[in-house]
Amino acid sequence: MEAMDLGEEEGLDDFKVSNKIALIDADTIVYASCVTREYADDLLAREMYTDEEWDDIVNHPGYDEAEDCIWMYNLDDVLADCKSRIIEIQSLTNTKSAELHFTEGRNFRYDVYDMYKANRKNTRYPQGMGAVKRKLLETYDGGIHSTYEADDIVVLRKRINPDKYVLCAVDKDVYKSVVGKHFNYYRSAHYNIDMKWVETEAVDAYKFPYLQTLMGDSTDNIPGCPGIGPKKAEKAIEGLVTPCDMWKAVVKLFKAKKLPIHDAIRDMRLVNMHQLDVDEKTINLWSPPCDLENIN
């Protein structure tokens, strides 16, 4: 992989951030480090263990019956890997410190739609993620959030204090939801993708949740409007400037698919990153910007 060019072309020279904080949506950092550092401790035949030993095995959080092993990790190794990544992000963004935010447990979106992320229910997550997050927060500012997601709070904090932070995230739903020049720290040697700066204009951040409502998100099991991809969604919203007009365009397409308006409202509440109040506690669920009876 070629070295990443973060010079003037990528906006670093124009982005004076030496006194800023790297505001990191950091779940991906921990997940990737835990995956790469996890290892399998293969089990012997059942008869090789006493009943007490076998009870300990099957009750171990890393026990995997299908793979006939216990998944293990070394906390120090995973922490070192995470910190190395965070230091690299700080270096590339020229930030003075880092603030990490994580998601854990069920948040308000599961109450909006009980099938939210249901496609992940059989996914096996690597061992140690919770422990690693808590240890990292002994070194860095930030938090673990369960009422809402890390996405919500990093978007809120960047929107309220744009000059204080450099938003760092891998999810387009995050960096396309707020105005500014942000840092996408996603990297893949396999696909020859490196970290890069991304910029979101005000008009794009404004219309993004309407586009996302139409397109849905298969990663999070958000249905969207059937048959509507990026091109059709863009065409539907193109030239519209007010929330009411964009909402009417969204509802028109849902109705064309014989879907109730409720489905469109539900999907907007799932994708919208601007529902967390400035008190960082209250969720103000999105409401339609105009009277539904006037939408034909």
289 and 275 share one domain: yes
pLDDT at 9: 39
Domain tally for the chain? 2
Q: Are 86 and 134 in a shared domain?
A: yes
149 and 192 share one domain: yes
What is residue 175's predicted lDDT score, i.e. its pLDDT?
97
pLDDT value of position 247: 97
Domain boundary (200, 224, 259) is at 200
CATH number of 263's domain? 1.10.150
pLDDT of residue 16: 54
Among residues 165, 200, 235, the one where a domain terminates is 200
- Whether 68 is covered by a domain: the verdict is no
**Residues 208, 116 share a domain:** no
Query: Would the pTM count as exceeding 0.75?
Result: yes
Q: Which domain holds residue 289?
A: 203-294
Choose one of 181, 200, 219: the last residue of a domain. 200
With respect to residue 55, please indicate whether it lies within any of the assigned structural domains.
no
Q: Are 210 and 284 within one domain? A: yes
Do 193 and 93 lie in one domain? The reply is yes
Check residue 291 and give its pLDDT: 79
Distance CA 180, CA 228 (A): 27
**Per-residue pLDDT tens listing for the chain (296 residues):** 333 444 433 444 455 546 999 999 999 999 999 999 999 999 999 999 999 999 999 999 999 999 999 999 999 999 999 999 999 999 999 999 999 999 999 999 999 999 999 999 889 999 999 999 999 999 999 999 999 999 999 999 999 999 999 999 999 999 999 999 999 999 998 899 999 999 999 999 999 999 999 999 999 999 999 999 999 999 999 999 999 999 999 999 999 999 999 999 999 999 999 999 999 999 999 999 997 655 55
Is 111 part of any domain? yes
Distance CA 214, CA 227 (A): 9
Domain containing 22 — which CATH number? 3.40.50.1010
Q: Domain check: are 90 and 104 in the same one?
A: yes
Report pLDDT for 296: 55
